[in-house]
Amino acid sequence: MEKKVTVIGAGLAGCEAAHYLARRGIAVRLCDCKPKKFTPAHSSEKLAELVCSNSLKSNDVYGNACGLLKEEMRRLGSLVIAAADATKVPAGGALAVDREAFASYITDAVCGDPNIEYVCEEAKSIPQGYAIVATGPLTLDSLAEDMRAKLGGGLYFYDAAAPIVSAESVDFSKTFVADRYGKGEGDYVNCPMNREEYEAFVRALVSAERAVVHEFDKRDVFEGCMPVEIMASRGIDTLRFGMLKPVGLYDENGKRPYAVLQLRKENAAGTAFNLVGFQTNLKFSEQKRVFSMIPALQGAEFLRYGVMHRNTFLNSPQVLGSDYSLKEDGTVFFAGQITGVEGYVESAASGLWAAINCARKLCGKESFAADGRTVIGALAGYVSSPNADFQPMNANYGVLAPLETPVRDKALKKRMFAERSLQIIGEIAKEAL
């Protein structure tokens, strides 16, 4: 019998899954609505489009849980991390990418694989047979309704993206180049504000008119993507302890600013910059007016304004096993943000884990146990464990199983987490690859 899997959705999770399966000689039918139809957040015809930040967060294997997750994925043969490594742009200790080059790398790898058939069509129901559904948090209406009917409903939160400005429109005479605590090679352009400028900016931000995105309250917004205007409304100094914090940054005179906005390259050519941490739901005209109050951005040309959209995810603890397959049908898997993992890397990791276990089942083997001593396993365990207040989860040390011997030193503890994890991943890789 021919081994064949249908993968619905060609985002990070779907492409990761399709690539893994195809490399094992499994025929993949990869379906996506692009380029015939786009969700509210997508605009490129390429696969694996990054719709929010161009950063995949920390690349520190021994000091950050997301950095550790990336290394786990590298050792398991991840396409997404290979693409990120190949198309990275300077970002200090973070792994940021040229988003166009990143999408092109993955599109070429997937569409050029003879074991993958790309089909432009909209899936309207959960497929039968071996399948991985990775349609993301903006799953189109027909399929979303089918999921609700068959899986007992879903949950949601609101997500936001930051604006991008043209590099040539930034007033670099009012900036300085530095990385926080000197960690990097001058990868960030810093836009300082004095106290008067900062407080005027916050007042304008709080009173600015927001775009209408149905009715939602602050409980519906994922904390990691909280719009800057909501953060500002919590108090005059909130931003100075958040995305505008000056700690660890000093200008050419050795002076620390009162507050500082950081800009990060959006592409390798350095022609565009992302406003780091400035997710927003302000009206476009208000974004131009308020953000231009920052001295270095007074003449800024906005190449993309920030947007907010509703993200849907399953009540995964009720319906998914720790291999991301449906509890009532072990041949249908889900992957990506729709499962309740949050973030680019986490989404791709879930696609990789689902594909690894789907391939095993196709070969008559049992799924790997979701080992909580690894980040990829701990996240799978999180989304499949009973939870009365289930919410999306990023990679973090809190989801990992405790060390066998308690360690007080934080740096040593993180290193021991990583060493333990990578040893286990090495054992999984030998059997999986």
What confidence tens digit (pLDDT) does each residue in 115-144 have?
Answer: 999 999 999 999 999 999 999 877 888 888
Contact 251, 138 (CB under 8 A): no
Q: Is 7 helix (H, G, I), strand (E, B) or coil?
A: strand
Both tokens of residue 402?
A: 């405790």
Q: Is 409 exposed, middle or buried (0-12, 13-18, 19+ CB in 10 A)?
A: exposed
pLDDT of residue 216: 42
Task: Characterize 42-66 residue by residue with b for buried, 16 or more Cβ atoms within 10 angstroms of its Cβ, and e for exposed.
Answer: bebebbbbbbbbbbbbbbbbbbbbb
Task: Characterize 254-277 residue by residue with b for buried, 16 or more Cβ atoms within 10 angstroms of its Cβ, and e for exposed.
Answer: eeebbbbbbbbbbbeeeebbbbbb
Which H or E element spans position 55?
strand 55-58
Positions of CATH 2.40.30.260 in the chain: 164-306
Contact 22, 28 (CB under 8 A): yes
Contacts of 213 (CB under 8 A, 6+ apart): 158, 281, 308, 309, 310
Q: Is 20 helix (H, G, I), strand (E, B) or coil?
A: helix
Strand partners, 7: 30, 132
pLDDT of residue 217: 43
pLDDT of residue 223: 55
Q: How many helices (H) and strands (E) does the chain have?
A: 12, 17
Contact 257, 296 (CB under 8 A): no
4-8 and 131-133 as β-strands: parallel, antiparallel, unpaired? parallel
Hey, what CATH topology would domain 164-306 get?
Elongation Factor Tu (Ef-tu); domain 3 (2.40.30)
pLDDT of residue 400: 92
Contacts of 211 (CB under 8 A, 6+ apart): 281, 282, 283, 284, 307, 308
Residue numbers in the chain where pLDDT is lower than 70 = 1-2, 38-43, 153, 155-157, 212-225, 433
pLDDT of residue 43: 67
CATH 3.40.50.620 fits 4-157+311-432, yes or no: no
Contact 324, 335 (CB under 8 A): yes
Positions of CATH 3.50.50.60 in the chain: 4-157+311-432
pLDDT of residue 42: 61
Q: Chain centroid to CA 162: how far? A: 13
- Could you write out the DSSP letters of every residue in 239-279? GGGTTT--TT---TTSPPPSEEEEEEESSTT--EEEETT--
Q: Is 91 helix (H, G, I), strand (E, B) or coil?
A: coil
